[in-house]
């Protein structure tokens, strides 16, 4: 709990009384030893029972596997019904609702929330849940842009509000990714707040990090607590406060404009400073050596198998995959990776891509100042394989997940700039001239119309869609209004200067 001061401090809203949590632990006789979070839940439920306080009857929406439901159960809530769309998750809920299980007596309901119409006579005092978050999340944003409430999943909060209006519980908890505060320029966040207030609830919200509550992972979420206007007795230790209205909620002021990107940058600065201190301490103790002082050298030949259907990259062959021969010469000063569809390394290179860090970023791969990607044949398979091979070695040598992490997300200035040159004797068609432009970041990272692409690439406007489809077929991510509704019709986006599609890519399952 010592980390709790970090987000509060960054948000300039430190509460006056910082001992409230310790007071609760003392009341429940819980120490912060290993597994204290589980003991906290058990002790709290036991304490409530001893005090003769009946459980708060609760409805769970978007229940998933029941993680939030179990937490609320441990905190003195009785989960009456759980509504979930995915049948496989409902099976888990059903098992945990059996006699003797954690959620004994609860009723799992497998249905789309839009088809859920609870009996108005259903007596619940609280509602919990958070709609699907992909449309607001950072991962969803990178995969598909921030759709926000322009995505069908982003309007499911309206179903939450509909059920609140129907059942009129005393309160609710709504959870979602903190990206919800910045989607659609903040308009979606305003609509969500207004919708809750219109059905009679005062709301209190805060961004919380799971790492501050005993979870070994930084996982930030926005929590909204809604309370029906009026006075209700609070069934927990209140330390002298008789009702919910009197209890001091440490919420963000309504005038505070939430900006998740700004907050992320502040947190990143803090984490970076802590990492610097830790590295310096370990270096002083001789437990690590500076990267610049390490000697890195690797020379080898290997074989990989590439699928041009789903862009898998594997050591073992599978149906439909293409065999790629690779030669690596890697050291601290430079990397050279060569790819071919045969093992004849005496064959002349048909093209070379010199990859440099742009925008002033230096020593980006183990101190190297250049990476050279050499293709023995000018075809899409060899081209895509070179980037895949580079990404694989990058991950092994530095721990960076992929080229996107190295380059930076497309909304920011790219850190990868490739200069592609062809063999002098080679007759290069217009498509490869387009690819040459893209590796130089010409026509990338920005939504453009066909006419604008044609001007940048010096090609005919009527050929642009063919080029975009061809790029997509070699692993480039190409977005349009069909793949991302927030992109205006007639505009397209190529986020990165290199192919990024892989079997797990969301965009792989979309049609341009």
Which active-site residues does the annotation give? 133
Asked whether the beta carbons of 444 and 497 are under 8 A apart, the reply is: yes
CA atoms within 13 A on the CB side of 401: 6
Q: Which residues is 41 bridged to in the sheet? A: none
Greatest CA separation for the chain: 88
92's tokens? 């888990």
Q: How far apart are CA 232 and CA 202, in angstroms?
A: 13
CA atoms within 13 A on the CB side of 264: 13
Q: Phi/psi of residue 232, each to 5°?
A: -135, 140
Q: Which residues is 356 bridged to in the sheet? A: 417
Q: Report the first-to-last Cα separation within the chain, whole angstroms.
A: 48
Q: How far apart are CA 414 and CA 417, in angstroms?
A: 7
Q: How far apart are CA 56 and CA 202, in angstroms?
A: 19
Q: Is the dihedral of CA 203, 227, 159, 205 positive or negative?
A: positive
Burial (Cβ within 10 Å: 0-12, 13-18, ≥19) of residue 126:
buried
Q: How far apart are CA 388 and CA 322, in angstroms?
A: 13
Q: How far apart are CA 164 and CA 1, in angstroms?
A: 33
């Amino acid at each position: 709990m010592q980390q709790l001061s970090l987000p509060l401090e960054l948000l300039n809203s430190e509460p006056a009384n910082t001992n409230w949590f310790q007071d609760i632990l003392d009341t429940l006789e819980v120490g912060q030893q290993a597994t204290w979070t589980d003991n906290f839940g058990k002790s709290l439920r036991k304490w409530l029972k001893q005090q003769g306080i009946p459980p708060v009857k609760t409805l769970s929406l978007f229940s998933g596997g029941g993680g939030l439901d179990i937490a609320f159960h441990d905190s003195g809530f009785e989960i009456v019904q759980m509504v979930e769309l995915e049948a496989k998750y409902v099976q888990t809920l059903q098992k945990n609702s059996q006699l003797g299980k954690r959620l004994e007596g609860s009723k799992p309901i497998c249905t789309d929330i839009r088809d859920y119409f609870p009996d108005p006579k259903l007596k619940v005092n609280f509602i919990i849940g958070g709609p699907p978050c992909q449309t607001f999340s950072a991962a969803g944003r990178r995969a598909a842009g921030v759709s926000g409430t322009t995505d069908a999943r982003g309007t499911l909060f309206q179903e939450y509000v509909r059920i609140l209006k129907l059942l009129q519980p005393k309160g609710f908890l709504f959870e979602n990714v903190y990206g919800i505060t910045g989607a659609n320029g903040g308009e979606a966040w305003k609509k969500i707040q207004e919708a809750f207030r219109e059905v009679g609830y005062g709301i209190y919200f805060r961004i919380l990090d799971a790492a501050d509550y005993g979870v070994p992972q930084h996982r930030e979420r926005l929590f909204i607590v809604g309370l029906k206007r009026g006075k209700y007795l609070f069934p927990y230790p209140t330390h002298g406060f008789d009702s919910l209205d009197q209890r001091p909620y440490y919420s963000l002021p309504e005038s505070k404009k939430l900006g998740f990107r700004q907050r992320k940058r502040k947190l990143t600065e803090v984490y970076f400073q802590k990492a610097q201190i830790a590295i310096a301490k370990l270096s002083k103790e001789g437990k690590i050596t500076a990267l610049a002082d390490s000697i890195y050298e690797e020379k080898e030949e290997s074989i990989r198998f590439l699928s041009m259907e789903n862009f898998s990259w594997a050591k073992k062959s599978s149906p439909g995959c293409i065999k790629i021969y690779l030669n690596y010469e890697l050291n601290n000063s430079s990397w050279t990776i060569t790819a071919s569809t045969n093992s004849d390394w005496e064959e002349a290179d048909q093209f070379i891509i010199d990859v440099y860090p742009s925008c002033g970023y230096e020593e980006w791969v183990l101190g190297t100042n250049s990476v050279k990607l050499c293709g023995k044949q000018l075809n899409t398979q060899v081209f895509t394989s070179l980037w895949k091979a580079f990404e694989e070695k990058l991950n092994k040598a530095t721990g960076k997940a992929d080229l996107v992490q190295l380059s930076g997300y497309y909304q920011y200035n790219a850190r990868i700039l490739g200069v592609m040159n062809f063999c002098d004797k080679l007759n290069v068609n217009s498509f490869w001239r387009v690819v040459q432009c893209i590796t130089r970041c010409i026509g990338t990272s920005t939504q453009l119309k066909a006419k604008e692409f044609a001007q940048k690439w010096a090609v005919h406007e009527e050929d642009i869609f063919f080029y975009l489809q061809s790029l997509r077929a070699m692993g480039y991510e190409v977005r349009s209004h069909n793949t991302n509704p927030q992109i205006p019709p007639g505009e397209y986006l190529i986020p990165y200067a290199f192919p990024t599609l892989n079997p797990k890519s969301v965009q792989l399952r979309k049609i341009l």
